[in-house]
Each structure stands twice: as structure tokens, then as C-alpha cells.
Chain A
Amino acid sequence: MRFESMTDAIGNTPLVRIDSAVHGLRNIDLYAKMELLNPFGSLKDRAAWNMARPLLAQAVERGDTVVELSSGNTAKALAVIAGMHGLTFKSVTNRMKVAEIKDLLLLLGAQIDELPGQAECLDPTDTDDPLTRMYHRLAGSGGGYLHTDQYFNELNVDAHLNGTGPEIVKDLDGRAPDYFIACVGTAGSSTGVASALRQHNPDVRVVGLVAHKSDFIPGIRTIDEVHEVGLFDPDVYDTVETITADDAIDGLLTLVRRCGTLAGPTGGGAYQGAVRHLRAIDAQLTERRTAVFIVCDRVESYMSYLRERRPELFGRPPRRNSVRTVTDADVRQAVTVDVAEAERWIAERRGLVVDLRSPFAYQALHIDGSINIVDELFAELLHGGLPFGRRQPVLLVCPVGEKSARYAALLTRMGHPDVRSLDGGIIAWRDAGAELVRD
């Protein structure tokens, strides 16, 4: 396969059978449309390219900025496409909820504008939704923008009507599947694919999946939010069902661990929603049926999302010399010195003073002669062993004397014979009128 441009690699993704030993359906062949294999990592590559392509030549001529209201895959694809054409991309978003995607966008050179959070005191005149606010901003900026408008742009649907949908039919030897299951985000893919499939078989059952209202699943909208989407037409779906973040993660785990498919939560949600919907039907069937769901994107961008919701998946063996293993009894054994004694100890240059506060705070004001090793870094060093000799006397300093006592206890347990903690911390030091310097 030889291509002139990465955008030529968009589309023509494989349709892969999910092993019946995994999904347990006896009469239904379940296939996954592997949209995660698009070059920029998701289904949205198709829509982004289809929406941007006709406008690019003009935009390049004028030096426009590409703008989209997106906090995820569309932004990612548009950022890449804009970069390939020497244009800037700006993502306007309500709230970027997934840290990795935010970082990736910044890495791609995108600008991210986050809109303000909801007001605590109600302002009855503030009735604009983010889309309207963005339109005002674009209008006020006097042009120079290429706005792809994914929630209302028919070219979003068109990318799937002429691409994703017909590809599925072709791979099923010219037949449409009996069931099509898709998560609803912009509704572009589900609407486009559904129309294409129904052109071949008007009886295709289309299941739309939306997120449970109090849940957040990246790339899926809740039942209320879909009504804000211009492309959403309830008549496309034979049924709209709800999935939770837990469902999505369960499905994701099945796909990544058992199906060789490194799917993100949207793909996981589609799998879980598909199997749940089909299981009831499967039991009644006497002849074979075919079902297709979409694996939208890849798992790698959702590590923080998964870590937050399923910390147990990331269980690691405990590290040695961890301050968390210090007991209150250990702390009571730690040597502490009060401000007056510490002042004498320091004046006599008896040893090393380690300030465990943040570098910013240390630089602002600290005890003369102390060195700064912020607690996180100190903890990291201690996992490897003592960062100074056993004959080196040490005085530990923190804000209120609590952390320093824990570290003093830990150092003692690690075999350091001459370590002490400043009782009451640097706040007691300040309150006693002892000297603080800034140099």
C-alpha cells in the first residue's frame, strides 16, 4: 500500500468477527468495525477530513484558524489535519475531562479555550449554551476561521453514509447486518451508517447507546445532551438504551484482554450495550443473524479515566521505605526539637537542615542554610535508600511538623541514628519570630 498522504489512509477499516466464546451469543455473528485503526486513532478522522477537505484550499490562502467545539477525537483529527496544511487549530470546549487528550492536543500544537463553569449565583440573563457562545466569539472576531461545526454539519453524516456504512455492507458480501449498535456522540456516525445500511435492508434494527445521566463516558452524550445535537434525529434509532461508565469499562476490558482490540471506553460501551441488547434476542432465534458495532477509538488516551474509576486494575506491589507504612507509634518515637533548640542546633552548624516544602514556598522564605527537597521527591529518593550518610545529622522541616515527624520516623527505621523533626514546623518557627530569609 503506497499513499501520497496520511489522509489517504483514512477509512477502509477492517470488520472483525468477535469470537462467540467471548460474547456467548449462539445465533448471532457479532462483528466489530475497527475504526480505531484510522491513522489519527479514531472514527472521527473520517468526519474531520470530510468536513475540512472542501474548505482547506481557501483557508490556507487566507491563513484561517480551524475551530471546533470538541474535547476529544474530532479535535485530535482536526489538529493533525490543520497541522498538515500549515494551519492553527483551536478547540473550544466546555471542559476537557480527559487529561491525556488535553496533553496530546497541546503536543499537536492546538490551542485550547475552556469555557467558564456554571455560575454559583444565578444570572438570569446568562442563557447561552457553549455553541452559541462560540458562534458569538467567531462572529466577533471578524472572520479568519474555518469552523467545521460537527454537531450540525451534514458532511459529518455524509462521511459515514458514503464510507463507513457501504464498507460494512461490502465486507458482509453485499448484505446489511440485521442489527447495528452505535454510541451516540455527534450522532454523525450512527445516522450515516444507519441510512447506508437501510438502503440495502430497510429492516435493519438500529440501537443507539447514550450515557447514563449522572455518568461521564468520553465521546458519548447523555439522554438530555443528545437533544442539543443538530444531527440527532430520534427516528434513526429503533431504540435508545442507556449504558453506564461501568458497562463501558467492562466492555473495554473484554475487548482489550480477550479480543486483541485496544478499544477505548466508547468501543467498550458499544460492545457491552450490543451484547446486552442481543442476548435477549439470541435466546428466541432459530436462524442466524448478523450484528455490527463500532469500535470508535483506542484505549491509550484513557489511562487517567480508567485509573480514577478502577484503581484496582493498576495495582502495583508496595515500594520499600514508603512513608505510608509509618505508623502513629513510629511517629511518637521520632525525635522532635522545639524552635529554640533548633535555632541553637542550626547556629552551632551541627548538621543538614532539609526543608520539605514546595520549591516555590522555599524560595519565598526559608531557614537560612537549609536545603530544599520537596516531600514528593524526598519520598522518591527514600525508595532507593538513604540519600545521605548515617553520620550526617539531619533536621527535617515542613509546614506544621507533621510530615517532617513521619519522615524522621521513616529515616530512623531505615537505620539513620541522628535525625530530628522541627516541632510545629516552619509556621511555629515564624510565629516565634525566628529568622526567615529570601535569597
Chain B
Amino acid sequence: MPLHLAPQIDPTLRSALDETVLMTQLADALGSPLGVILPQQLADNVAAFRSVFSGHRLSGQIYYAHKANRSSALVRELAATDAGIDVASLAELQHALGAGFVPQRIMATGPKNEEFLWLCARTGVTVSADSVGELATLAALVTDWSLPPVRVMARLSGFTSTGVQLGSRRSRFGVSAAAVSEVLDTIAKHAAALDLVGVAFHLDTIGLPEKAVALEGCLGALDECRRRGLRPWSVDIGGGFGVNYLADGTQWEQYTSALTEAVLGRRAPLTWNGHGYGLRAEGGHVRGALNLYPAHRPVSGPAYLDRLLRTTSPEQRRPLGTLLLDNMYDLHVEPGRALLDQCGLVLASVLEVRDEANGDTIVRLDCNARDVSLEEHGVLMDPVVVHRTTPAAPGPAGVYLFGNLCLEADLITRRQVFLPSRPRPGDLLAFVNTAGYLMDFSATHALRQPIGRKVALYRDDGAWRWCLDEQYWPVHHRAEAP
């Protein structure tokens, strides 16, 4: 039985995908791979997060984590909403400013060099500082250049729990929550340069208990601020809200069960060279851990945020959302993947379809594993076949997808993918819902292969229209009246 992992496709993305003539024309004209961005979907996603805020009566900002996609169309469309943007490099900051974000709507995060800090300070964006050293560097820049005080957030990490010792992966970012007094000493020392507006954390986990401990730890740190007479009013809980990639949870369960059996040798391998996605067999038992994104995530995105805010805090035993509200704190979030849910797809041309002697079928694509980085991010999700003509052989085809790099490891998927029908050279594969991290995060010019172009596809006057990503602005030029 074919093991499908059918993607979740919402109506807007489905309607774009149904424009098969347009899709093939675009790929023919602009080459393969081609990123297709649906900027207007982003506004809907912002609204969904916003409604969770209002449901909890919370104020605060939704900062889109720009690193999830390099697209200009997305950033410009976002500038037209009430959301903010989280920039993690000098170029991302320049991009955001150029797209129309005023500095009050920009948060600078991540590792920063002096130029990045200078532009933050000069324009007045909020700096989420990773270390005491970064605060000192920033303060020196503000003083040396006689700039107005900069709004800063202090990123904390290494929160400790009481009673049950809740383990958390060590993070390379942030100041230990136990050392918050060092941060406050630094702020006090540079009071004319730094204006502390809140504290922040981001934990790379889908676990709610760890986030509850961290959020409560932030409340403790803010209380220490108030004790010292500072008045920061916000908590930034970062991102990691996740996306539900798959339409059917049963398929995900069947697939992962089958993978376990395949690793144990109880059924034919499902993967290239018996790759186990983190699982391995030792003495008839499975060892290791399934190293995949939980592609079927019924509680993800805004619903995950809602669940987190309803989670009871471990010490104060009140829902986290209620505690934030009680304390009059603004809540900031930095979703990347979750805000780009259903916001785009990657088209790739089929170059060759061949059957190997051992029965495997190979589909070679004109793109590589860095253009559609499903494997790198552990997302298992089937592509959709865009046929140019009626498929010759209807019925599912189990295939391996090879990339265009001269490299053994360049497989778009290391598992056998069951396509609904067998493609032919010239057909397209559409990798849907790939706008968040899976489109151009890792794209490179290795082997001088081109990085795929991007187009923005948008609804205007009741029809789909398109332009190059860099040409897109939220102001649409109406078609002339006939």
C-alpha cells in the first residue's frame, strides 16, 4: 500500500495550485526552481495570531522572524499590516526599513556585529541583547555617537525549575536567568544610553512545560527590575509555534510505524540506503530517536500560543496569559514558520524519469536539496504533481527524488515518495507550504547552479496576478477598465 504523506493545502493555496497553465508558464519563463509567494496569506496569519492576543485581552506585538524567508513581497505586505518584524542581520534590518517598517515596529535579535548595532541605535529599533557584552558595546556606540537612548530587551536563558528538575537543551543565546542582576547593573551604569523595555527568551522546543518555566522566570526577572525602580512592560517569548504540514494524522502514524518496521528489517526499506531518520536497529530493538519535524501537529501556530497562554504556571499556579495580564505586561512573539503557513510553494521541473534494474524509480529534478530543504529540516511531506498533459499511467508511483548537484547526498527526499501519478519529463513538482524555512533559507550557488527566482502571486480584481518578488508592493496597479 502506498504510504502517502499528503500536504495540508488550504483553499487559497489550493486555488493558486489549480492555475496549472499559469504555473507551467511561470516555470518555463523564469526557470526551475521557482519560489511562488502568496503574500496576502501572511496578513490572514497575522490576524489569526492577533485574535489569540485579543482572546486573552493581551496587548503586544507579533514580530515576523524575517530569517524564515528572504522574500521582499512578504516583508512589504507585512509592513501594510499592524505586525512588527524581527531582524537578525544588518541586511535584514536594511530590508525591513526599506519595506516601510518604522523603527518602533522592528526588533533586532541574534548575533550582532558593530555595524548592525550602530544602525539599530541610529534608527532607534529595539535591540534584543544576547549578552552583557552586547549591551556594553551598544551603550558605547550610543555614547560615542551622541545618539538618543536605545530601547533594549534582555534575552534570558538557563531557567531553573523547582521540585521537578525540568531539563532544557543548552542554548548558545541569552544571559543566564540567575545572572539577571549583571544585566541590570549594566543597564544602570549606562542609564543615559539604554532603556530597558522588557525581557525575552526563545527555547528551541515544542514542550509547553519548559516554556512555562521560562515565562515564569521572566516574570521573576521583571519583578527584580521593578524592585530596582525600572519599569519594563514586556515579555518576548520568541517563536517555535510550529506548522501542521500534513492533512491526515493517520498517514503520519502509518508512515512512522512503517519506518520503525523497516529499520528493524521487518519490511522493505522506505528510504534511500536504508536511512533511518535517527532510528537504528540494535539486536532486534530500535534505538535512537525519530529525528523528524512532527509534521502532523494539530495544535500549532496560533492554537499553540493559545494553549501556552492557558498553561498553568508551575509556581504561581495561574494561567500564564492571566499572569501576564495581571502584571500589565505586553506579550511579544516572534513566529517565523507559523506566520508563513500556507504562504508559498516551490516549483521544480522534472528532467528525467527512469526505472532502475532493482525496481526503484528515479525522478531527477532541476533543483537541489537546498532549494527545497525538506530533508535538512526533517519535514516529510509529498509534493503535488503538475502535469502538462493527462498522465500516461494513472495510479500512484513510488519514486526517489534526485537533485541537480553532482553530489551523492543531493536527494530532495531520502525517502521513497508516493506521487499520485507518475510524472513525465517537463512536468512540474510543486512543493507546497514551503515558504517558512524550506524555500531559500539554505539556497546556495554551489556548482554555479542558479538560486531560484521568486514570484509573488496575488489576488486582485478577482483574479490571480503575478510579478517578480522584488517588484511586489501591497499597492496593486488595477487593470485598466475595458
Interface residues of A (CB under 8 A from B): 95-96, 102, 106, 111-124, 126-132, 213-214, 223-224, 227-230, 232-233, 357-358, 360-362, 364-365, 374, 376, 399-400, 402, 426-427, 430, 438
Contact = CB atoms under 8 A, between A and B. Distances in A.
Which 6 residue pairs across A and B have the least CB separation, nearest first? Answer: A117-B207, A361-B326, A357-B326, A120-B240, A122-B378, A399-B325
B14 interface: no
A48 B292 CA distance: 34
B299 interface: no
B169 A116 contact: yes
A362 B253 CA distance: 47
B273 interface: no
A385 B166 CA distance: 41
Contact of A122 (B239, B249, B288, B291): B291
B285 interface: yes
A399 B167 contact: no
A309 to B, nearest CB: 17
Contacts of B278: 127
Given A119-B205, A127-B289, A111 B325 contact: no
Interface string B270-287: 000000001000001111
Given A120-B205, A122-B378, A223-B257, A358 B323 contact: yes
Interface of B: 57, 59, 163-169, 204-210, 219, 222-223, 226-227, 239-240, 242, 249, 253, 256-257, 260, 264, 278, 284-289, 291-294, 316, 318, 322-323, 325-328, 376-378
Contact of A228 (B57, B287, B316): B287
Contacts of B376: 122, 124
Contact of A120 (B163, B204, B289, B328): B204
B318 A122 contact: no
Given A116-B207, A399-B328, A214 B294 contact: no
Contacts of B249: 214
B326 A358 contact: yes
Secondary structure at chain A's binding surface: helix, strand, loop or mixed? loop
A128 B163 contact: no
A360 B217 CA distance: 13
A117 B327 contact: no
Given A224-B256, A358-B323, A111 B205 contact: no
Contact of A227 (B204, B264, B316): B264
A399 B260 contact: no
Contacts of B294: 118
B57 A402 contact: yes
6 contacts: A114-B165, A132-B288, A228-B286, A228-B287, A358-B326, A364-B226
A123 B327 CA distance: 36
Contacts of B169: 116, 119
Contacts of A115: 167
B286 A227 contact: yes
Contact of B210 (A96, A117, A228): A117
A121 B172 CA distance: 14
Contact of A360 (B167, B242, B289, B327): B327
B209 A213 contact: no
A249 to B, nearest CB: 21
- Residue among A227, A364, A438 with the highest chain B CB neighbour number at 10 A: A227
Nearest to B242: A120
Most B CB atoms within 10 A — which of A120, A213, A230? A120
A121 B204 contact: yes
Given A227-B264, A232-B285, A358-B318, A430 B206 contact: no
A126 B288 CA distance: 9
Given A357-B326, A364-B327, A427-B328, 17 more contacts: A95-B209, A114-B166, A116-B167, A116-B205, A117-B205, A117-B207, A120-B206, A124-B376, A129-B289, A214-B249, A358-B326, A360-B323, A361-B327, A364-B222, A399-B57, A399-B328, A426-B328
Contacts of B287: 129, 131-132, 228
A119 B204 contact: yes
Contacts of B292: 122
B285 A127 contact: no
Given A126-B291, A227-B286, A364-B223, A112 B164 contact: yes
**Residue from A96, A357, A402 having most chain B Cβ neighbours under 10 A:** A357
B434 to A, nearest CB: 15
A293 B316 CA distance: 43
B288 A128 contact: yes
Given A106-B164, A224-B256, A400 B57 contact: yes
Nearest to A130: B289
A225 to B, nearest CB: 9
B257 A213 contact: yes
A362 to B, nearest CB: 8
A360 B220 CA distance: 9
A357 B57 CA distance: 14
A227 B285 contact: yes
A126 B59 CA distance: 37
B226, B257, B288, B322 interface centre (most CB from chain A within 10 Å)? B322
B285 A228 contact: yes
Given A96-B164, A113-B167, A360-B219, A122 B328 contact: no
B328 A118 contact: no
Contacts of A111: 165
A223 B258 CA distance: 11
Contact of B253 (A118, A122, A131, A214): A214
Contact of B226 (A95, A127, A430, A438): A438
A99 to B, nearest CB: 10
A123 B204 CA distance: 10
Nearest to A106: B163
B115 to A, nearest CB: 26
A128 B325 CA distance: 39
B379 to A, nearest CB: 8
B112 to A, nearest CB: 20
Contacts of A365: 226, 328
Contact of B377 (A122, A228, A230, A427): A122
A230 B284 CA distance: 9
B219 A230 contact: no
Given A213-B253, A214-B253, A430 B322 contact: no
Contacts of B164: 96, 102, 106, 112-114
B390 to A, nearest CB: 38
